[in-house]
A and B are shown apart, each in its own frame.
Chain A
Amino acid sequence: GAGVSQSPRYKVAKRGQDVALRCDPISGHVSLFWYQQALGQGPEFLTYFQNEAQLDKSGLPSDRFFAERPEGSVSTLKIQRTQQEDSAVYLCASRRGSRRITGELFFGEGSRLTVL
């Protein structure tokens, strides 16, 4: 597709359930980012991939959060044993290059997770 595609767009989970959120970046984009955006807040960095390598996972809030990008294209963000505080929009973004000072991030529409 032409843009970053995320699925599902909406997910309702019961507390304690595991969820998986998928991101399909723009074809050929090397860099992929996951952000978490709570209501009324700016996006908070979670993790970053360059191709299949996860170069920075400093933003993952706990060991319940796990991300992968095994073939350097599609990425999955997995949240285990979801808690109510995990409720947020999870944004995926991709960028064509890797270490470009002004490279633009292209965001997907996000996956809105609600944990009951």
Chain B
Amino acid sequence: QKEVEQNSGPLSVPEGAIASLNCTYSDRGSQSFFWYRQYSGKSPELIMFIYSNGDKEDGRFTAQLNKASQYVSLLIRDSQPSDSATYLCAVKRGTDKLIFGTGTRLQVFP
């Protein structure tokens, strides 16, 4: 079992819809959780982080964390074609390193 698991997709949603991206992790000692977006051929860039149970909203993005279920998700409201990218879930464990999932490819079609 990989430490951070994501469905590789692609997840296809129409423009204006809500995209829901999910991630599970195996280490209960994980402290904080990150969502990175990676456009094809580009480097990952941070969208959001969350470390407390519940929801955290930032513009069109909402991160949700459930530590009991070891589950973190990212919701993208009013999806736009420019949101089409790979979304990487990352978990901070131990000292300082981030452990990444394989990423979910999102396609938003007009």
Contact = CB atoms under 8 A, between A and B. Distances in A.
Contacts of B102: 40-42
Interface residues of A, number: 27
A35 B90 CA distance: 13
5 contacts: A42-B4, A45-B100, A59-B97, A99-B96, A108-B43
Contacts of A95: 96
Given A102-B32, A109-B42, A45 B97 contact: yes
Interface string A84-116: 000000010001001101111101111000000
Contacts of A55: 95-96
Contacts of B103: 41-42
B10 to A, nearest CB: 12
B92 A101 contact: yes
B43 to A, nearest CB: 4
Nearest to A41: B102
